Amino acid sequence: MNDSFKVGVVGSGYVGLVTGACLASLGNTVTCVDVDEERVEGLRNGVMPIYEPSLEEMVARRYGDGSLSFATGLPEVVREADIVFIAVNTPPDDNGSADLSNVADVARAIGASLAVVERESPLVVVNKSTVPVGSGDYVSMLIREGAEDADVGYRVVSNPEFLREGSAVYDSFYPDRIVLGADSRDALDVMRDLYKPVIEQSFPTEMDPRPKTAVPFVTTDLASAEMIKYAANAFLATKISFINEVATICDLVGADVNNVAAGIGLDGRIGPRFLNAGIGWGGSCFPKDVAALRSIAREYDYEPAILDAAVTVNERQRRQVITKLQRELRTLKGKRVALLGLAFKPNTDDLREAPSLEIAKKLDALGARVVGYDPVAGKAAAATEPSLKVVFDMYEALAGAHAAVVVTEWEEVRSLDLEKAASLMEEPRLLVDGRNLFDPASAERSGLSYRGFGRRGA
């Protein structure tokens, strides 16, 4: 059993960088490899390609003590490493299926590297990227092709990530479970040793008391491990769409969805999480993974009706923002609308599939003037959506606005001074609460016209 490992992580984006920094913090020696020379040089100089709480400090500490390094060349890493993670992007194609071209390039490069280096033991190659069912066998085939039939030793493992943007470091150290799929018992044993400090929660920590005493370690076959990732995200997305469907019915019958969610969430079979009605889901995982699972189903001539419905409801929620604005403002031409929060969720700068950008584009097409605020993602949003004027003070965004839309539940937005907001805004001083953060009665008393999603009196 090893106490520490030499680890390579190919890809220094969101998953790769978090994985590399956390494994280095557990006592391993980690090299993050990336083909982007500018990104690698930036990381060596402390320039982060993403925003994630506490990650920058961790990378600086581990780079400073030599346990984390950055490189562009793969062969030397393959020569020295016990384990190499593939953690590159798998963006959706036009039909929703995952584009595996980045994974394929890495797999072939690993094969080519194995063919020209000498190793004493098989290399454990770990798929950390979100990949369709069957990708483990696909990667194994490409490694062999990259080696050009040279006799190389390797084992392929699927190790899906379950990191939440905004709390990815925490999720790495205190996961709900670790899932591994492989056909090789030896490879699973290596991975169990790698994750032993996390499984047993035996690593040093400043967090007291520890939030967990042990972490479930799930081992299965490659295909099942790959499916677990898609099924988990598809279920959570469907749960959000379900409560949004209920919220629409609450609007019709005069019930309050927050009270309904609290009531049903007490049922142990349901649970309270992911029962927050509002604008719906976005980001890098839910849209991509649901689309990929729908695409996989259709490859086998199966229509995934529940997943299709989840997507339909989610798309409707964004349109409801426009409907609520039109209902109260009548025409949107010449109206100023403030968007509070632009990232798809708080504590990240990620704008992938962010509701804010779609809403801003639609409002601009209808003649509104849109101004947005986000404490982290503002500059990126301004560069992404030209119709959006971005300011860096929330109350500046509200000044002169006829309506404001709560898009992202940043702590700054949760702490909005409703009376101050009303004093800065123009009639009708409409607040469309896309995350159901505020009490409707309190908002009305403050001088705002409140409209939520499934809220009583809204």
Quote the Cα angle for 189-192-194, to 5°.
Answer: 110
**167 and 294 belong to one structural domain:** no
- Choose among 221, 144, 143, 139: nearest CA to 179: 221
Tell me, yes or no, whether 397 lies in a domain: yes
Strands (E), 34-169: 68-71, 83-86, 123-127, 154-158
209 shares its domain with 129: yes
In 3D space, the residue among 294, 283, 369, 293 whose CA is nearest the CA of residue 325 turns out to be: 369
Cβ neighbours of residue 312 under 8 Å, at least 6 residues apart?
none
Would you say residue 230 lies in a domain? no
Q: 197, 220, 243 — which closes off a domain?
A: 220
Last residue of a domain, one of 174, 192, 220: 220
pTM to 2 decimal places: 0.91
Any domain includes 228 = no
The mean per-residue pLDDT over the stretch 311-320 comes to: 96
* pLDDT tens per residue across span 121-131: 999 999 998 88
Q: Report residue 91's pLDDT band, with 50, 70 and 90 as the boundaries.
A: confident
Say what the alpha-carbon torsion angle 123, 126, 131, 135 is, to the nearest 10 degrees. 30
Catalytic positions, written as ranges:
285
Q: Distance between CA 320 and CA 103 in Å, rounded?
A: 38
pLDDT score, position 197: 94
Residues 216 and 310 in one domain: no
Are residues 187 and 243 both part of a single domain? no
User: How high is the pLDDT of residue 1?
Assistant: 59
Q: What is the pLDDT of residue 35?
A: 93
Identify whether residues 131 and 97 lie together within a single domain: yes
Report the CATH number that the domain containing residue 165 is assigned in CATH.
3.40.50.720
pLDDT score of 410: 97
Cα dihedral 421, 423, 429, 430, rounded to 10, equals: 20
226 occurs within a structural domain: no
Please give the DSSP secondary-structure letter assigned to residue 344: S
pLDDT tens digits, one per residue of 326-362: 999 999 999 999 999 999 999 999 999 999 999 999 9
Same domain, residue pair 47 and 183 = yes
Closest listed residue to residue 89, CA positions, set 284, 346, 225, 350: 284
Residue 208 pLDDT > 60, yes or no?
no
Residues 292-303: tens digit of each pLDDT: 999 999 999 999
Query: In the predicted model, is pLDDT for residue 458 greater than 60?
Result: no
What is the spatial order of strands in the sheet that 369-373 belongs to?
388-391, 369-373, 336-340, 403-406, 430-433, 449-451
Is the same domain home to 309 and 372?
yes
Longest dimension (CA), the chain: 75
Total tally of structural domains belonging to the chain: 2
Looking at residue 104, its amino acid is: A
- Specify if 167 maps to a domain: yes
Q: Which range of residues forms the domain containing residue 106? A: 6-220
Task: Please report which confidence band the pLDDT of residue 94 belongs to, taking 50, 70 and 90 as the band edges.
Answer: confident
Which of 163, 231, 220, 208 minimizes the C-alpha distance to 14? Answer: 163
Whether 457 maps to a domain, the answer reads no
Q: Is the domain of 63 the same as that of 179?
A: yes
DSSP state of 454: S
* Average pLDDT of the chain to the nearest whole number: 94
Kindly report the backbone phi and psi dihedral angles of residue 198, in degrees, each rounded to the nearest multiple of 5, phi listed first: -80, -45
- For residue 229, is it within any domain? no
Check pLDDT > 70 for residue 209.
no
Which one of 220, 254, 278 terminates a domain?
220
Whether 213 has a pLDDT exceeding 80, the answer reads: no
Phi-psi bin for 345: left (phi > 0), alpha (psi -120 to 50), beta? beta
Based on the domain organization, do 203 and 335 belong to the same domain? no
pLDDT, average across residues 34-59: 94
Residues 86 and 148 in one domain: yes
Q: How far apart are CA 98 and CA 106, in angstroms?
A: 16
Query: Per the domain annotation, does 227 fall within a domain?
Result: no
Alpha-carbon separation of residue 39 from 32, 45, 48, 65 (angstroms): 11, 10, 8, 20
Identify the pLDDT of residue 214: 86
Q: Is the per-residue pLDDT at 363 higher than 80? A: yes
If asked whether residues 298 and 414 sit together in one domain, one would say yes
Residues 222-240, mean pLDDT to the nearest whole number = 95
CA distance 204 to 26: 9
Residue with tokens 């033991």: 121
Same domain, 67 and 119: yes
